[in-house]
């Protein structure tokens, strides 16, 4: 390869691994029914020589060190940034930034009369897709940590097994094992980076999947994604952006007003991920039962067969808690946001129903997260939760409704979503009992005349 020029994926492997190791790897791939160039095409490798050389240089630097853990999170960061830039990610103009800040400021003003939870106190800004990646990647890294080590070990074991099936090509020794581990860590890092890039291309702000993606109370919109979403609607773009801004700010107020909620939600996700088992047999089958000439089959194989199909009892309970929690959060945001925009916007019912269906049905964001940590993030009982919060507002008022967020033990359970009237009545009884007890205590402490 004079001049470090690459004409095929095999050239890339030779540059990364050296002639001897690359020859072994290429022969092992072909013996296992895999075509190296088809793998390169399926992985979306650039065809431009300059871009390919830059990628190879980056991969060489990545393989030169193992990093601080089983996954190279720096590679995840770089892949995410590169992918959002490749799709076009212009910086925000001064006008876009000012307009976005105005949407978010107006959202706070509209929310003030309809909730007792105060503004979050974080920054208000517009974001490019790359900036969204920078702000959210640490949270995705935290969520992926519990499963990352298992995935990397399984990938390394699968690669080891494939080479051992070919006589004379078995990879052995500590150095080879370390190489396979780093390759597995690179694969997971690239998967994470690609997943976050997918989310960055469609996220409106920090609240799209219901999880708290920042810990500083910041609220933001990604104007390009908001504009692309509004292009297919027969609703003025300013109205779409303002509606989404109200939802974004409402989420931030909730997580800020209930400081325990962020760790509660992320803890449920982490508990689920810790129980995930990697199905190495399915992983091997996914690599072997494909047509190597079909990039689409290869792409699907690389993203399937990783997580075990069986759900443990611990996971089942965690999933039920997560679905209920997300539904309760989304239901509160929907009710409060709808109250805030009533009389302010003209297409409230259409926008509310649109967002409800988007969250309930899922989309690329939810699919991407599922491929990353094996978990769906869908508030399946969103309508029930919204009905509960509406009933509670009517029965006990805004202050008592929002007081439910003062402690995790007060949150409605899945069973209580079945009977919102009884939940509201119990809150009303509890409030009256508290008032009566307080009055009796004050009477006892009042000195005799």
Per the CB < 8 A criterion, the answer to whether 332 and 389 are in contact is yes
Average of per-residue pLDDT across 208-219: 88
Query: Where residue 393 falls among pLDDT bands split at 50, 70, 90?
Result: very high
Maximum separation of any 2 CA atoms in the chain, in Å: 104
pLDDT-derived band at 298 (thresholds 50, 70, 90) equals very low
Distance between CA atoms of 282 and 298, rounded to whole angstroms?
A: 14
What average pLDDT does the segment 229-233 reach? Answer: 88
Give me the pLDDT at residue 2, please: 42
Question: Please, which residues have CB within 8 angstroms of residue 81's CB and are 6 or more apart in sequence?
Answer: 130, 133, 197
Higher confidence at residue 36 or residue 239? 239
DSSP 92: P
Q: Residue 437: its pLDDT value, please?
A: 47
Per-residue pLDDT for 220 more than 70?
Answer: yes
Mean of all residue pLDDT scores within the chain: 78
Specify the pLDDT at position 155: 65
Cβ-based burial of 277 (10 A; exposed 0-12, middle 13-18, buried ≥19): middle
Higher per-residue confidence, 180 vs 120: 120
Across residues 266-292, what is the average pLDDT?
72
User: Which residues is 385 bridged to in the sheet?
Assistant: none
Does residue 240 have a pLDDT over 50? Answer: yes
Position 165 scores a pLDDT of 46
Mean pLDDT of 301-316: 65
126 φ/ψ angles, rounded to the nearest 5 degrees? -95, 150
Whole-model pTM: value is: 0.77
Q: What confidence tens digit (pLDDT) does each residue in 1-36 have? A: 444 455 666 776 666 566 766 676 677 666 656 666
Structural tokens at position 337: 């946001």
Task: Give the residue-averaged pLDDT of 66-72.
Answer: 64
Instruction: Give DSSP secondary structure letters for 149-216.
Output: HHHHHHHHHHHHHHHHTSTT----HHHHHHHHHHHHHHHHHHHHHHHHHHHHTT--SS-TTSS---SS
Spans of all domains in the chain? 65-275+312-373, 386-445
Phi, psi of 384 (to 5 degrees): -65, -40
pLDDT band at residue 104, thresholds of 50, 70 and 90? very high
Position 293 scores a pLDDT of 43
Contact by Cβ (8 Å): 257, 118: yes
Res. 98: pLDDT tops 90: yes
Q: What is the arithmetic mean of pLDDT over 247-252?
A: 96
Residue 98 to residues 49, 127, 285, Cα–Cα distance (Å): 40, 12, 53
């Amino acid at each position: 390869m004079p001049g470090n020029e690459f004409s095929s994926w095999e050239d890339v492997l030779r540059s990364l691994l050296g002639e001897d190791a690359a020859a072994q790897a290429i022969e092992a791939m072909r013996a296992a029914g895999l075509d190296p160039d088809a793998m390169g095409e399926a992985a979306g490798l650039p065809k431009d020589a300059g871009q390919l050389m830059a990628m190879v240089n980056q991969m060489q630097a990545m393989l030169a060190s193992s990093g601080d853990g089983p996954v190279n999170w720096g590679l995840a960061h770089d892949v995410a940034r590169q992918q959002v830039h490749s799709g076009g990610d212009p910086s925000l103009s001064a006008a876009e930034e000012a307009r976005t800040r105005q949407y978010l400021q107006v959202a706070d003003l509209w929310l003030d009369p309809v909730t007792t939870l105060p503004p979050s106190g974080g920054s208000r800004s517009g974001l490019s897709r790359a900036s969204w990646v920078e702000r959210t990647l640490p949270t995705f890294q935290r969520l992926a940590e519990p499963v990352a080590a298992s995935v990397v070990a399984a990938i390394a074991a699968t690669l080891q097994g494939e080479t051992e099936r070919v006589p004379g090509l078995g990879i052995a020794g500590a150095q080879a094992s370390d190489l396979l581990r780093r390759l597995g860590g690179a694969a997971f890092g690239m998967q994470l980076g690609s997943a976050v890039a997918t989310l960055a291309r469609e996220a409106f702000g920090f609240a799209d999947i219901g999880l708290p993606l920042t810990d500083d109370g910041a609220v933001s919109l990604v104007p390009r994604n908001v504009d692309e979403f509004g292009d297919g609607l027969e609703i003025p773009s300013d109205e779409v952006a303002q509606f989404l801004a109200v939802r974004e700010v409402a989420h931030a107020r909730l997580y800020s007003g209930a400081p325990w909620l962020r760790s509660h939600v992320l803890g449920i996700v982490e508990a689920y991920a810790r129980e995930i088992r990697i199905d190495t047999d399915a992983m091997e089958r996914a690599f072997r039962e494909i047509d190597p000439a079909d990039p689409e089959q290869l792409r699907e194989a690389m993203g399937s067969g990783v997580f075990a199909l069986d759900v443990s009892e611990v996971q089942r309970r965690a999933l039920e808690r997560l679905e209920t929690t997300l539904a309760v959060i989304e239901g509160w945001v929907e009710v409060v946001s709808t109250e805030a925009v009533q009389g302010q916007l003209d297409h409230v019912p259409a926008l509310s129903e649109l967002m409800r269906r988007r969250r309930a049905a899922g989309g690329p964001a939810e699919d991407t997260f599922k491929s990353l940590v094996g978990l769906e993030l869908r508030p399946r009982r969103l309508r029930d939760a919204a009905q509960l919060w509406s009933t509670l507002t009517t029965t006990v008022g805004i202050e008592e409704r929002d007081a439910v967020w003062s402690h995790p033990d007060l949150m409605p359970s899945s069973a209580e979503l079945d009977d919102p009237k009884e939940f509201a009545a119990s809150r009303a009884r509890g409030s009256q009992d508290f008032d009566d007890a307080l009055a009796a205590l004050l009477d006892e402490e009042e000195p005799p005349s």
